[in-house]
Amino acid sequence: MLIGYGYGYPTNQLLGGGNPFWLAFNQRADADGALPAEAAVNGCLQTRFLNSFQSYDFFVFYSNSWLPFMQRANTDSADAAEVRFINCLEVRMYNLLNA
Amino acid sequence: MPASPSLLIVPARFKTGKLYTQIATTSAGLVLGSSGDFNVTRATTATRFNSAGVIESVASGVPRLDYYTSGGTAGCPALLVEPSAQNLVLNSDNTATSWTLGGNTASGYVDVIGVSGNTITASASGSIASTVFVRRVLNTALASGSTYTVSFLMRQTGAHTIGGYWIGIVGVGDLGGGFDVSGSFSSGAIYSPAGAINRIRRVERWGTDVYRCSETFTLTASGTLDRILMGPLATVSSVVATVASGTQMSFAAPQIELGAIPTSFIPTTTAAVTRNADVISVTGAVSGCIGQTEGTIYAEVDIRNLTDGRILTLFKTSAQYILLSKSTNRLGGAIIDTTSSPTTVVNLQTASGSLTSGIYKLALAYKQNDFAFYVNGTSVATSNSGNVIGDYNIIRIGNFDTSLFFNDRIRAAALYTTRLTNAELQSLTTL
């Protein structure tokens, strides 16, 4: 099984000191002309964001590995396992990575 | 099984008409960019408590990140969502303009957390009933059966800690209250007309030596709001008790509004001013982020006002929806369908009377015949009976179909397209 890592996020974001998802969110807001970020944005609000996940580790896996995998397959018109079994396959992959 | 949110918003970035969502991914795996962001409508300016602990105006259409936290200190901000309100007090943003001083009173300008106020000093001994006050004439009809709230900022400038307000309502009588901001706070009625019932007084700290005092009352007779007065008091329950010469308190940001709580300050000059409601929602592709047959709806909120309000709503029609809500005394999670019988599919709530001010994390998990409601890491209620309607296509934050506004601060909200396990609900909602 090929497993992507850090998919979709430039290396400089991963090395930038901030959370890559938070950085990407702010870059999108900046590009869209959002009002300048206030001091709390990269302080307590970033912390609140990270604490809002039921499982942040799983979200990282989902965003960096599972979601790009599914998107690539969809783009290639791939068939998929029955919908109600998708989640268990996702978890199987997650467990394999974290074994 | 771990789960990832299909939608997660921690209010942090914004511009006119828009509140940005951090995560929005449909169940089909489509990552939404701008189509996952919330639309914001409020066609008037509004005020917020900013990061410096100062009240400042926010432009029309801009969502309010409000930094007010417990104790009146500026802390990590949250999204303030309020209904429409109108301040009936004229020249509320500057009590030195068009206000009249009592005879034995000296006045001095003072900034009270960003609002122009007056320091009222008794230049000779007297009572608020005779001389020691600042007064503004109004002329506004008040309706019998309606509930109103008076509020103002009071700053302690010396050793004295007691001040109050007094409004004259022609046809009802004088109504007033006193507030002692020392220690654990206390208050009392200084005028009690028969035509005003259900009176509730509050004191909240809004900064160093600054307090927001308020009183809510319901009229049993109609009348005309004639005037408002503010001044230092000798006691919280006597308008005629004499204050000594030199007694001093500062006042600013007076407000009289329809409703059961004091909302954010609305500056006025020569006419009453209305602040429109904060209407925040998203529809369209984001419906793919909603669990239509099963899912979990989650929010983290800072509750300070015990009023009816909606926190987060997944909306199909005004008759079919899923929501997290607060009422005057409890939190709830419900799936409603008033088009069929029984009309309420599931309604899970905390115990009546259990709600107090504070931070809450709450989640409702739903799936056919399998529902659970968790608050702050504890299972509140479950149900094993009911269906999920589906076809929800609008997500509303802090309101229900442009009504029942939350009147408080929302720190985060999230959706999952699976019914989280009870262990996950416990973990997600633990403070």
Q: Is B185 in the same domain as B237?
A: yes
Domain boundary among B275, B301, B317: B275
Chain A residues with CB within 8 Å of chain B CB: 21-22, 25-26, 28-29, 32-35, 37-41, 43-46, 48-49, 52-55, 57-59, 62-63, 67, 70-71, 74, 87-88, 91, 94
Flag whether B193 is in a domain.
Answer: yes
Enumerate residue ranges in chain B where pLDDT < 50: none
| Contacts of B392 by beta carbon, 8 Å cutoff, 6+ apart | B287, B290, B292, B314, B315, B316, B320, B321, B322
- Whose CA is closest to B395, among B1, B29, B30, B32? B32
pLDDT (average), residues A26-32: 95
Tell me how far apart the alpha carbons of residues B389 and B335 are, in angstroms, rounded to a whole number: 9
Q: Are residues B127 and B267 in the same domain?
A: yes
Q: A87 and B418: CB-CB below 8 Å?
A: yes
Looking at the fold, whether B137 and B53 belong to one and the same domain comes out as: no
Give residue A88's pLDDT band: very low, low, confident or very high (50, 70, 90).
confident
Q: Is B212 domain-assigned?
A: yes
Same domain, B132 and B264: yes
Beta-carbon separation of A25 and B34 below 8 A: no
The sign of the CA dihedral B36, B48, B136, B144 is positive
Clarify whether residues B256 and B324 are in a common domain: no
Q: Say whether both B219 and B308 belong to one domain.
A: no
Is B74 in the same domain as B135? no
For chain B, the domain total comes to 2
Domain boundary among the residues B215, B242, B275 is at B275
What pLDDT score does A14 carry?
A: 37
Burial of A36 (0-12, 13-18, 19+ CB in 10 A): exposed
Same domain, B348 and B417: yes
A82 — pLDDT class (breaks 50, 70, 90): low
- CATH code for position B33: 2.60.120.200
> What's the CA gap between A71 and B114, in Å, rounded?
51
Q: pLDDT by residue (tens digit) across B331-382?
A: 999 999 988 777 778 999 999 999 999 999 999 999 999 999 999 999 999 9
Q: Is the pLDDT of residue A3 over 60?
A: no
Alpha-carbon span B54 to A32, nearest angstrom: 28
Question: Which residues of chain B are within 8 Å of residue A21 when distances are taken between CB atoms?
Answer: 22-23
Please indicate, yes or no, whether residues B342 and B290 belong to a single structural domain of this protein.
yes
In a shared domain, residues B260 and B112: yes
> Is residue B209 in some structural domain?
yes
How close does chain A come to B33, measured CA to CA in Å?
A: 8
Asked if residue B214 and residue B114 are part of one domain, the reply reads yes
CB crowding B246-277: b at 16 or more within 10 Å, else e: ebbbbbbbbbbbebbbbbbbbbbeeebbebbb
Same-domain status, B396 and B383:
yes
In a domain, B111, yes or no: yes
Which amino acid makes up residue B400?
Answer: F
Considering only CB atoms, which chain A residues are within 8 Å of B13?
25-26, 29, 34-35, 37, 41
Structural domain includes residue B1: no
Last residue of a domain, one of B275, B292, B322: B275
For residue B205, what is the domain's CATH number? 2.60.120
A35-49, A75-89, B24-38, B241-255, range with the lowest pLDDT: A75-89
The reply to whether B398 falls in a domain is yes
Q: Which residues of A touch B416 (CB under 8 A)?
A: 54
Look at residue A9 and tell me whether its pLDDT is greater than 60. Answer: no
Q: Which residues constitute the domain of residue B150?
A: 85-275
Residues of chain B contacting residue A88, judged by C-beta atoms under 8 Å apart: 1
Reply yes or no on whether the pLDDT at A30 is more than 70: yes
DSSP state string for B146-194 = -EEEEEEEEE--SS--EEEEEEEEETTEEEEEEEE-STT-EEEEEE--T
Q: What is the pLDDT of residue B340?
A: 79
